[in-house]
Structure 1
Amino acid sequence: MSSRLITAFVSILPLASAWLPGHHSSIELSAFGVTNRSIAGRQTIVVPDKIRGVNVGSLFIIEPWMVGESWNRIGCSNQPSEFACVQQLGQEAANSAFRQHWDTWITQGEIQLMKDYGLNTIRIPIGYWMAEDLVRGDEHYPKGGLQFLDRFVGWAADAGMYVILDLHGGPGVQAANQGFTGNTVSEPQFFNSYNFDRAYGFLEFMTSRIHNPSTAQQYRSVGMLQVMNEPDRGYGNLVSEFYPNTLRRIRDRETQLNVADAARLHVQFMNTNWGAGRPAQNLPADDMLFFDSHTYFSFENSKEQSQQSYLTSSCAAQPGSDGDAPVVVGEWSVGINANAGGNGEFEVNSDNNLEFYRQYYGRQVGNFEKLAGWIFWSWKTEAGNDFRWSYKTAVERGIFDKDPGNAAANYGC
């Protein structure tokens, strides 16, 4: 999730299965929940034909713009990132403060609420420092998150939710000046062999945790690994080196673990439209790939700032136009550009504007469901009544329908 949102927001041997739409094989589909059939002797989750999900932003990588109250409680209100926060607090104090956040930010009951709201998928942004052995002594990240990730994915599986694990914060940092990476730096240091190796190590670590008998029960609904979120553009070795090696390393680890072909993980890459290169260009042949498109109209600085312009853009967008397939729109919102400033037609506390936001939401849902589906950013924020980045608040205020299918039917393009 881009820290550019700050500006926009202020202006307003059990084995884990990887079944996805289009890969149903012999598993009998159900709309939600856990089937009574099994792979390798264990019940396995299936997903509906369209991914309808939310990101759990600021759970395992805190973005201060989203959770100001929590950031203050941790003691880092003047810091831009987790790295800087840990530096300020010291390791032990930071570990304690972050554990409190991980323990309370999203509860088991909220996962059930997601399902009650018609959602079936959770995307979990995590940092490479979840595998603590990969962190150098001069790097500063909170420790102890893995046990809370284990618990969270177990809760998701119990609720029958499909899970995508997303490497959101890469070693060396993959995007400049972005709080979502865990460390705001002016120049990313990810794009070299040393940090590529650490990223491979993290993805192998998570692959093992998903499939290994000791943890597979908790991870039984994790079907996809996203190898890197929103890497900076202009680094050719991302496509020529990192992407193909990542896929090989994940598949090699699954081979070592004797994972059946049908139970392999889907591996996800940012799509070509992201602008960092064509991800499939050098990939080995593989039929378990997925691609991610991030579609934020709030970042289109040249667009006319009117309700009609946003509604038109919602229908005209083609997030799958680059030919990468299958595609899920892994991040989007009903946020508005900072240029809209004091434009009263976007005021969230005016009843006159709520119908616009219902249409803005419904049109995006309808458009994105022409592809494999969508994952909203984010489940919740600490923003009071402002629902534009909070799915939970939007449903509570009656802006988003508890059945997303109704939104598309009533307001779709």
Structure 2
Amino acid sequence: MPPEPPQRDNPERERRRERRYSRDENNDRDRERRRRRGHRATDSDGHLLPRPSPRHHRQSESEHDSPSPRKKRHSHQGETSNRSGSRSRGSAPLSLDSLAKLDKHNAKKAGWGGYDYDEDYLKDVRQKEARMEKERLKVEKEQRKKERELAKEAEGRRRAYESDVAAEEQVRIKREKQREEREQREQSRRRAYTDDEREERKRRYEARYPPSERAERRERRREERRHRTEDKKRRVVSGPLAEEGGVDDEYEYQYMAGKRGGAGSALTEYTDEDLAKRKKIKRILIGVVAVLLILAIIIPVAIMVSKKNNKDPESVASQNADKPANSNLDGISESDIPAGAKGTILDPFSWYDTGDFNVTYTDATVGGLPTMGLNSTWNDDVQANEKVPNLQDTFEYGKMPIRGVNVGGWLNIEPFITPSFFEAYGSKDGIVDEWTLCTKLGSRCKATLEKHYSSFVTRQTFVDIRNAGFDHVRIPFGYWIVTTYDGDPYIKQVSWRYLLRGIEWARQNGLRVNLDLHGAPGSQNGWNHSGKQGVIGWLNGTDGDLNAQRTIDIHGQLSQFFSQPRYKNIVTMYGILNEPRNVDLDTDAVLKWTEKAISTIRKNNITGVLVFGDGFMGLDKWQGKLQDDDNLLLDVHQYVIFNVDQLSLDHTDKLNFACQGWKQQSKRSMDKTTGFGPTMCGEWSQADTDCTQYINNVGIGTRWEGTMDTGNASTSILDPQCPGGKSCSCGEATADAGQYSDAYKKWLYQFAVAQMLSFEYGWGWFYWTWDTEKAPQWSYKKGMAAGIMPQKVWDRGFDCPQQLEDFGKMGLPENY
């Protein structure tokens, strides 16, 4: 029981003390006033203790009684201010925390528990200050960035203005030169006349015009010559000559006098004072024009900066149409990112796009690959459509047809899919693939490609794929998604988090994923979509074995990562390597490497379907090879345009080959007595020519028109390969899909459906590809929009009949 407070003789003082230490916790107004009031030490009876004397280095009255805890926190520990403003070393003043503790101690001695407010108040203030400081730094950062951008824009406008002025001057000089050349030609022509011709011309002229009219015409010509001379001098004075101080004052005096007096008038006398006034006016006008130009630059900049200062960072960021808002960064601080991670792939503040990523920092890895960006939970209770099972249920491969689509040209660049990356360069630049593109761009390659990763495939892409009736997505990528090696210009691991985000978007739409290693170290085929066009350096050449082992190591990391439980239901197909060109490699070495890759992947607990390429050997040649793994799938890619024999078929025969030829191939390959066994078509398109820009590499012509000059006689095709082999044109094949004839649209639709039907005699198919910048015959999305693809992949309206229509008789030209 607390001791009874001592009695006092002054009742009024007792009442004030009771009001001051009231225990009413509901009195918010009194509590707030109590928080804001400064504190001084008291004795056990509540009386103020005397202030420390100046000789003990007390604080000034203004600092000691300051109501703001922030001021107290900014004071220098161990220093006090004397009256003259200088600082002397001494004992530290009591902090707010110390004063609060002293209050509590004295109150406790007096038998009163007191209010517990000082610590909470200080904590609240510190939190508010931290938030305000964080917000201030963020706003300053955004402001500095915007100011740099505005300054850059202003510099661009200035340079553009100077360029326009220079261009106009060049045009003026060119026109003046042309006029002088015309005059010289005219004078030469006149001098070329003989005396007899001149006499004859004079006689005709005098007979045509009477003497008075001749005199008038002579005077008019003199005036015209004089004005041309004056105009020429005037233009010279207003040009570079004036800037260099080359103005002739005497000429200017005479010229201006003539202008004032009018054409043909006598020159007027001007005094030196008049000339001085004119020069002064000219200088004033030049100054006014300069001020107006400066204001034209400064005012827009000031307005934009002012608008930015009046808006919060999120709203400003959202106005930048070229960059995602990245609003999920608002909840974290850059100080939360360790110093060693700043600017790396683990730093979300260095990412171009943070949408749908978990931006909470983590350095956790699986198989040496970062999990940064992933959420800790996921939901597999999703079904793509009524034709396929829920992700949580088993997809019965071999019984249910795969109906999938590639998202090619996204995480590894292909020139014909995104020609905009290559059109800006000439043949001398040699920009033909991702290797040469990144070499050319240098440090700008990261920003360029990350912007492409962010925009070429989005969340809506997977929604649209699901709505089209697909149930699988094949995602190609290059080895640089995992690592790079000395001398590589590729951007290391930036595409990794976009792959992980794409898989999550596929999950949200019930789409199963086929991972596809599209480019191996050294290039497995020498084609541009492997990353580097030219020599095959995988299993071949000086570094062939090294690159083979590097590819195994990459699979070691990938298979560890994707064997996590979160990927069991979604990553159900795992591609070993896209299109190794076995016909130009040692086939036995490729088989041994494939067996080693399978062993590595299985050892890391990947239990799904493993996919390997046919290597262009022909499906029948895989009978008896690699048949020990029951969950291994042979992948063949079928196109008519890269085979001159198939390319040269007319439209009806091409359609018949799709209906019957590929059907029989699928059936033969699915039979282990005649082929490998499980077989699918991982790539195909509805293109019937190789006319698409860059389809045969950048700067290479076409087989169709006979312009495919590779620089190698053994691979060049310089004779037209369209049916008939004459007058072959790419006109209609490369036209906008909306301009296709009805007969051509009908054929393209039936050709696509026929391939779907034939490949479903195997395990199914993946169309190449979902979207392109220009080529509608290679884009399922553009094909749907043009009416040459089914709106649902299973709703086709065509089946391969016994007798096909004759498209030639329907008016469809065979050579365009």
TM-score of the aligned structures, taking structure 1 as reference length: 0.79
Match of 1:16 in 2: none
The match for 2:640 is 297
- Counterpart of 1:392? 781
Contact kept? 2:471, 2:511, Cα under 8 Å? yes
Cα deviation, 1:96-137, whole Å, max 9, x if unaligned, reads 1111111110111111111111111111111111111xx211
Residues 400 and 763 in structure 2, CA contact (< 8 A), matched pair in contact too: yes
| Contact 2:539/2:589, CA 8 A, preserved across alignment | no
Sequence identity (%): 25
Cα distance change of structure 1 residues 202 and 128 upon mapping to structure 2, 3 Å threshold: same
Match of 1:362 in 2: 753
Report the Cα distance in structure 1 between the residues aligned to 2:403 and 2:482, rounded to whole angstroms. 29
5 Å-filtered alignment, 1:4-43, equals 31-32=387-388, 34-35=390-391
Which of 650, 653, 661 is the aligned partner of 1:306? 650
1:268 aligns with 2:611: yes
Match status 1:184 vs 2:539: no
CA gap of 1:74–1:164, structure 2 versus 1, over 3 A, is farther
Matches within 5 A, 1:167-246: 167-176=517-526, 178-191=527-540, 192-212=544-564, 216=566, 220-232=569-581, 233=583, 234-246=585-597
User: How many angstroms apart in 2 are the aligned matches of 1:325 and 1:31?
Assistant: 25
Identify the match of residue 326 of structure 1 among 670, 678, 689: 678
Count of aligned residue pairs for this structure pair: 362
- Structure 2 CA distance for aligned equivalents of residues 46 and 271 of structure 1: 23
Higher mean Cα deviation, 274-283 or 106-115? 274-283
Asked whether 1:374 is paired with 2:724, we answer no
Deviation (angstroms), 1:362: 1.2
Q: 1:116 aligns with which of 467, 473, 478?
A: 467
**3-state secondary structure, aligned to 1:411:** coil
Give 1:411's aligned residue: 799
The answer to whether the 8 Å contact 1:30/1:46 transfers is: no
Tell me which amino acid in the other structure corresponds to 1:146: W
Shift of 1:207: 1.1
TM-superposed CA distance for 1:58, in Å, is: 0.4
Aligned equivalents of 2:588, 2:620: Cα separation in 1: 10
Structure 1 residues 150-205: Cα deviation after superposition (integer angstroms, max 9, x where no partner): 101111111111111111101111112x1110011234344433111111111121
CA contact 1:45–1:157 (8 Å) conserved in 2: no
Post-superposition shift, 1:250? Answer: 0.7
2: CA distance, partners of 1:197 / 1:375: 29
TM-fit CA distance, 1:350: 2.3
**Aligned mates of 2:770, 2:574 — CA distance in 1:** 20
Is 1:156 paired with 2:499? Answer: no
Q: How far is 1:247 from its partner?
A: 0.7
Give the deviation of 1:275 after TM superposition.
4.5
CA deviation after TM superposition for structure 1 residue 33, in Å: 6.1
Q: Contact (CA 8 Å) 2:391, 2:570: kept in 1 or not?
A: no
Query: Deviation at 1:75?
Result: 12
SS in 2 for 1:34: coil
Q: Deviations over 1:248-291 (max 9, x none)?
A: 1111121xxxx7xxxx1211111376449956756473221111
C-alpha distance 61-359 of structure 1, shift in aligned 2 (>3 A): same
* Per-residue CA distance 1:328-383 (angstroms, 9 max, x = gap): 11011111232334277856532231111111111111111111111111111111
- C-alpha distance in 2 between matches for 1:411 and 1:364: 10
Match of 2:741 among 342, 347, 351: 351
Amino acid at match of 2:387: A
8 Å CA contact retained: 1:328, 1:373: yes
Matched, 1:247 2:598: yes
Higher RCO structure (Cα 8 Å, ≥6 apart) = 1
Aligned to 1:14: none
Q: Take 1:79 and 1:399, find their aligned partners in 2: how far apart are those partners?
A: 33
Q: 1:75–1:89: 8 Å Cα contact kept in structure 2?
A: no
Query: Alpha carbons of 1:345 and 1:127: their partners in 2 closer, same or farther (altered >3 Å)?
Result: closer
Deviation at 1:326, TM superposition (A): 1.3
Q: Separation in 1 of the partners of 2:476 and 2:391?
A: 27
Distance verdict in 2 for CA 1:54–1:35, change over 3 Å = closer
Would the alpha carbon gap of residues 72 and 32 (structure 1) be closer, same or farther in structure 2, given more than 3 Å must change? Answer: farther
Offset, 1:244:
0.7
For 1:18, the equivalent position in structure 2 comes to: none
Q: Say whether 1:94 aligns with 2:437.
A: no
The equivalent residue for 2:807 is none
Q: Contact between 2:425 and 2:431, CA under 8 Å: does it hold in 1? A: no
SS in structure 2 of the partner of residue 364 of structure 1:
helix
Task: Note if contact 2:538-2:545 (Cα within 8 Å) is conserved in structure 1.
Answer: no
**Letter of the 2:390 counterpart:** V
SS in 1 for 2:579: coil
Is the 1:204–1:253 Cα contact (8 Å) retained in structure 2?
A: yes
Any conservation in 2 of the 1:231–1:276 contact (CA below 8 Å)? Answer: no
**CA deviation after TM superposition for structure 1 residue 312, in Å:** 1.2
- TM value normalised by structure 2: 0.42
Closer, same or farther: CA 36–378 of 1 in aligned 2, 3 Å: closer
Equivalent residue number for residue 41 of structure 1: none
Q: Is the 8 A contact 1:167 1:228 kept in 2?
A: yes
In structure 2, the CA distance between the partners of 1:78 and 1:310, relative to structure 1 (3 Å rule), is same
Letter in 2 for 1:374: W
Deviations 1:270-319 (A, max 9, x none): 13764499567564732211110111011221233421121111112244
Distance 2:465 2:572 in 1: 18
Gaps of 5+ in 2: 1-384, 670-674, 690-703, 705-720, 723-727, 802-816
SS in 2 for 1:410: coil
Between Structure 1 and Structure 2, which shows a larger proportion of strand residues?
1
Select between 310-319 and 102-111 the one with higher mean Cα deviation: 310-319
Q: Distance in 1 between matches of 2:622 and 2:482?
A: 25
The answer (yes or no) to whether the contact 1:224–1:265 under 8 Å persists in 2 is yes
Question: Is the 1:273–1:319 Cα contact (8 Å) retained in structure 2?
Answer: no
Tell me the amino acid that sits aligned with residue 151 of structure 1: R
Larger Rg belongs to: 2
Residue of structure 2 in register with 1:125 after alignment = 476
Q: 1:300 to 1:236 in 2, by over 3 A?
A: closer
CA distance in 2, matches of 1:343, 1:172: 34
SS of 2:516 mapped into structure 1: strand
Amino acid across the alignment from 2:799:
Y
Q: Secondary structure at the match of 2:518?
A: strand
Q: Is the Cα contact below 8 Å between 1:307 and 1:345 reproduced in 2?
A: no
RMSD: 3.0
Mapped partners of 1:31, 1:75: distance in 2: 49
Give the unaligned 5+ runs of structure 1.
1-28, 38-43
CA contact (8 A) 2:402 2:764 kept: yes
User: What letter is aligned with 1:363?
Assistant: A
Cα distance in 2 for partners of 1:406, 1:292 equals 25
